[in-house]
A and B are shown apart, each in its own frame.
Chain A
Amino acid sequence: GDSVTQKQGQVTLSEDDFLFINCTYSTTTYPTLFWYVQYPGQGPQLLLKVTTANNKGISRGFEATYDKGTTSFHLQKASVQESDSAVYFCALAGTGNTGKLIFGLGTTLQVQP
């Protein structure tokens, strides 16, 4: 079945560091992939969407590129700020045409000033 794997549970960086969060997926269909960000006490907010048609998403300084060969969808940002501290989730639109999302376990990013 469909699945998403985020191996990094926690990432700690300093301001202006480069961010890279790993995400791999498995599906039998053409993937539509998302990155969501969740701040404390809030619901997940959509950060990026990428499909096989556009291959790359960019938003608020974050970038993600879909790689079919390695079935990966990593999230990057050149220079993080303390305000980027949050939990980041990779998600895959599941097969079955219901709109259901399959989420990874999330990566908690802590950016120190």
Chain B
Amino acid sequence: NSKVIQTPRYLVKGQGQKAKMRCIPEKGHPVVFWYQQNKNNEFKFLINFQNQEVLQQIDMTEKRFSAECPSNSPCSLEIQSSEAGDSALYLCASSLNRHTEVFFGKGTRLTVV
């Protein structure tokens, strides 16, 4: 059973609205990832952190998307102005380090109407 907790499970937003989702990584896992999975099952890496520091992020994340992993608080991913094309399953994952197994949460399904 996954120990990565994502909330909410479902999120419905209108175009232009902010969408925010949260993730509590598995205890003791300092590396956190965000992926977007579309309806065709394609995974798109968005960003990852080690503790509070960004390791890598893609261009999309640098524009409308923002993410953080503050100490002693859940990690979060926020879309500033939602677009229809953002409708997808957003997956948070965590790992012990950058070279070990990655464990995923159940995801937040975002629908932009």
Q: CB within 8 Å of B: which residues of A? A: 32, 34, 36, 41-46, 49, 87, 89, 93, 96-101, 103, 105-106
Contacts and interface: CB of A to CB of B under 8 A. Distances in A.
Given A98-B55, A99-B95, A100-B33, A46 B102 contact: yes
Contact of B48 (A49, A93, A98): A98
Given A43-B91, A44-B91, A106 B41 contact: yes
Given A99-B31, A103-B43, A106-B41, A46 B48 contact: no
Contacts of A105: 40-42
A100 B41 contact: no
Contacts of A34: 101-102
B99 interface: yes
A99 B33 contact: yes
A41 B45 CA distance: 20
Chain B's interface size range is: 20 to 34
Nearest to A48: B101
With a 10 A CB-CB cut-off, give which of B91, B93, B104 has the most chain A CB atoms.
B104
Nearest to B41: A106
A57 B91 CA distance: 25
A99 B53 CA distance: 14
A43 B36 CA distance: 11
A99 B103 contact: no
A43 B106 contact: yes
Given A87-B41, A100-B48, A49 B107 contact: no
A100 B42 contact: no
B44 to A, nearest CB: 9
A103 B107 CA distance: 16
B2 interface: yes
B105 A43 contact: yes
B56 interface: yes
B106 A45 contact: no
Nearest to A46: B101
A44 B4 CA distance: 11
B99 A32 contact: yes
B98 interface: yes
